[in-house]
Structure 1
Amino acid sequence: MTVSDIGPQEAPHEPRVRSVRVVLLALMIAMLLAMLDNMIIGTAMPTIVGELGGLEHLSWVVTSYTLATAASTPIWGKLGDLYGRKGIFLTSIVIFLIGSALSGMAQDMGQLIGFRAVQGLGAGGLMVGVMAIIGDLIPPRERGKYQGMMAGVMALAMIGGPLVGGTITDHWGWRWSFYINLPLGAVALAMVTAVLHLPKRERDRETRIDYLGAALLTVGITAIVLVTTWGGTEYDWDSAVIMELIAIGVAALAGFLFVERRAAEPIVPLHIFRSRNFSVMSVLGFLIGFVMFGATLFLPLYQQAVQGASATNSGLLLTPLMLGMMLVSLIAGRVTTSTGKYRMFPILGGALMVVGLFLLSQMDIDTTRVTSAVYMAILGAGLGCLLQTTMLVSQSSVEMKDMGVASSSATLFRTLGMSFGVAIMGALFTDRVQEEMLARGGGAATAQSAQLDAASLAKLPEAAREAYQYAVVSGTHAAFLLGTGVAVLSFLVAFFVKEIPLKGAAPDDSGAGSGQDAGPDSPPPAQHDGDGSARTGADPKPAPTRA
Structure 2
Amino acid sequence: MNQTGSSTRGQLFATIGALLALALASIDVSVVGAAMPRIADDLNGLSLYAWVGVSYAVAAAVVVPIAGKLGDMFGRKPVLLVGLAGFLVASWLCGAAQTMPQLVGARGLAGLFGGVLMANVFTLLADIYTPERRTQMQGVFFGFSGLSMVIGPPLGGVITDNWSWRWVFYVNVPIGLLAIAAVLIGVPFVRSGASWRDIDFAGVVTLVAGLVPILIGLTLTGDGHAWTSPEVLALLIGGAALLVAFYLVETRVAKNPLVPFALFRSNQVSVMAVVAFFSAFAMMGTAFYVPLLYQGVLGVSATHSGTLLIPMMLGLMLMAPIAGKAMTALPRYRVLGVFAMAAIVAGLLILSAVGPGSGQGLPITAMVLIGVGIGIAFPMATAVVQSAIPMEQVGVGTSQIQFWRMIAGPVSLAILGSIMSSRLGVAAQGGEGVSAPVLADALGDLFLACAIAVGIGLVASLFLKEIPLRDMSMGKSPGGKPDQRTSQQQDRTARA
Query: TM-score if structure 1 supplies the norm length?
Result: 0.83
Equivalent position to 1:258, from 243, 248, 264: 248
Residue of structure 2 in register with 1:285 after alignment = 276
Residues 396, 533 of structure 1: 8 Å contact kept:
no
Residues 143, 375 of structure 2: 8 Å contact kept:
no
SS at match of 2:198: coil
Residues 434, 471 of structure 1: 8 Å contact kept:
no
Distance of aligned partners of 1:131 and 1:151 in 2 relative to their CA distance in 1, 3 Å threshold: same
Distance of aligned partners of 1:33 and 1:21 in 2 relative to their CA distance in 1, 3 Å threshold: same
**Counterpart residue identity of residue 215, structure 1:** V
Distance of aligned partners of 1:217 and 1:368 in 2 relative to their CA distance in 1, 3 Å threshold: same
Residue of structure 2 in register with 1:158 after alignment = 149
Q: Does 1:240 align with 2:230?
A: yes
Deviation at 1:530, TM superposition (A): 4.8
Residue of structure 2 in register with 1:461 after alignment = none
Residue of structure 1 in register with 2:261 after alignment = 270
> Which residues of structure 1 form unaligned runs of 5+?
448-466, 506-513, 515-520, 536-547
> Which residues of structure 2 form unaligned runs of 5+?
none
**Counterpart residue identity of residue 192, structure 2:** R
**Counterpart residue identity of residue 490, structure 1:** G
SS at match of 1:122: helix
Q: Does 1:61 align with 2:52?
A: yes
- After superposition, residues 454-465 of structure 1 pair within 5 angstroms as none
Q: Does 1:388 align with 2:355?
A: no
User: Counterparts of 1:87 and 1:155 in 2: how far apart (Å)?
Assistant: 27
- After superposition, residues 104-503 of structure 1 pair within 5 angstroms as 104-203=95-194, 207-231=197-221, 233=223, 235-261=225-251, 262-312=253-303, 315-339=306-330, 341-436=332-427, 439=430, 441-442=432-433, 467=435, 469-503=436-470
User: Counterparts of 1:440 and 1:167 in 2: how far apart (Å)?
Assistant: 43
User: Counterparts of 1:533 and 1:343 in 2: how far apart (Å)?
Assistant: 19
Deviation at 1:348, TM superposition (A): 1.0
Equivalent position to 1:47, from 26, 38, 48: 38
Moved more, 302-311 or 99-108: 302-311
Residues 212, 259 of structure 1: 8 Å contact kept:
yes
User: Counterparts of 1:348 and 1:36 in 2: how far apart (Å)?
Assistant: 28
Report sequence identity in percent. 34
Deviation at 1:93, TM superposition (A): 0.8
User: Counterparts of 1:97 and 1:439 in 2: how far apart (Å)?
Assistant: 53
SS at match of 1:231: helix
User: Counterparts of 2:284 and 2:459 in 1: how far apart (Å)?
Assistant: 21
Q: Does 1:82 align with 2:49?
A: no
User: Counterparts of 1:249 and 1:471 in 2: how far apart (Å)?
Assistant: 36
For 1:487-540, what per-residue CA distance to the aligned partner results, in whole angstroms no more than 9, with x for missing partners? 2111111011111121349xxxxxxxx9xxxxxx999967357564889xxxxx
User: Counterparts of 1:473 and 1:354 in 2: how far apart (Å)?
Assistant: 19
For 1:309-361, what per-residue CA distance to the aligned partner results, in whole angstroms no more than 9, with x for missing partners? 34346542211111112222111101123345532211111111111110111
Relative to total residues, which structure has the larger helix share, 1 or 2?
2
Residues 142, 504 of structure 1: 8 Å contact kept:
no
- Name the Cα RMSD after superposition: 2.6
Deviation at 1:102, TM superposition (A): 0.3
Distance of aligned partners of 1:315 and 1:28 in 2 relative to their CA distance in 1, 3 Å threshold: farther
Residues 162, 315 of structure 1: 8 Å contact kept:
no
User: Counterparts of 2:460 and 2:132 in 1: how far apart (Å)?
Assistant: 23
User: Counterparts of 2:334 and 2:203 in 1: how far apart (Å)?
Assistant: 34
For 1:365-402, what per-residue CA distance to the aligned partner results, in whole angstroms no more than 9, with x for missing partners? 12222332111101111111211111111222211111
Residues 168, 176 of structure 1: 8 Å contact kept:
yes
SS at match of 2:254: coil
Residues 298, 355 of structure 2: 8 Å contact kept:
no
Distance of aligned partners of 1:134 and 1:425 in 2 relative to their CA distance in 1, 3 Å threshold: same
SS at match of 1:128: helix
User: Counterparts of 1:496 and 1:224 in 2: how far apart (Å)?
Assistant: 30
Residue of structure 2 in register with 1:545 after alignment = none
**Counterpart residue identity of residue 249, structure 1:** G
User: Counterparts of 1:60 and 1:206 in 2: how far apart (Å)?
Assistant: 33
Residue of structure 2 in register with 1:450 after alignment = none
SS at match of 2:97: coil
SS at match of 1:498: coil
Residues 142, 320 of structure 2: 8 Å contact kept:
yes
Deviation at 1:250, TM superposition (A): 1.4
User: Counterparts of 1:534 and 1:334 in 2: how far apart (Å)?
Assistant: 23
Residues 305, 472 of structure 1: 8 Å contact kept:
yes
Residues 207, 265 of structure 1: 8 Å contact kept:
no
User: Counterparts of 1:389 and 1:151 in 2: how far apart (Å)?
Assistant: 10
Deviation at 1:438, TM superposition (A): 6.0
Q: Which has the larger radius of gyration?
A: 1
Distance of aligned partners of 1:319 and 1:157 in 2 relative to their CA distance in 1, 3 Å threshold: same
Distance of aligned partners of 1:232 and 1:19 in 2 relative to their CA distance in 1, 3 Å threshold: closer
SS at match of 1:89: helix
User: Counterparts of 2:151 and 2:456 in 1: how far apart (Å)?
Assistant: 31
**Counterpart residue identity of residue 468, structure 2:** P
Deviation at 1:68, TM superposition (A): 0.8
**Counterpart residue identity of residue 352, structure 1:** A
Distance of aligned partners of 1:53 and 1:196 in 2 relative to their CA distance in 1, 3 Å threshold: same
Residue of structure 2 in register with 1:457 after alignment = none
Residues 92, 170 of structure 2: 8 Å contact kept:
yes
Residues 9, 186 of structure 2: 8 Å contact kept:
no
User: Counterparts of 2:179 and 2:114 in 1: how far apart (Å)?
Assistant: 14
Residues 217, 253 of structure 1: 8 Å contact kept:
yes
Residues 30, 153 of structure 2: 8 Å contact kept:
yes
Q: Does 1:33 align with 2:13?
A: no
Residues 289, 414 of structure 1: 8 Å contact kept:
yes
Residues 433, 474 of structure 1: 8 Å contact kept:
no
Distance of aligned partners of 1:40 and 1:314 in 2 relative to their CA distance in 1, 3 Å threshold: farther
Residue of structure 2 in register with 1:92 after alignment = 83
Equivalent residue pairs, number: 487
Residue of structure 2 in register with 1:24 after alignment = 15
User: Counterparts of 1:155 and 1:379 in 2: how far apart (Å)?
Assistant: 13
**Counterpart residue identity of residue 307, structure 1:** L
Query: TM-score if structure 2 supplies the norm length?
Result: 0.92
Residues 14, 185 of structure 2: 8 Å contact kept:
no
Deviation at 1:254, TM superposition (A): 0.6
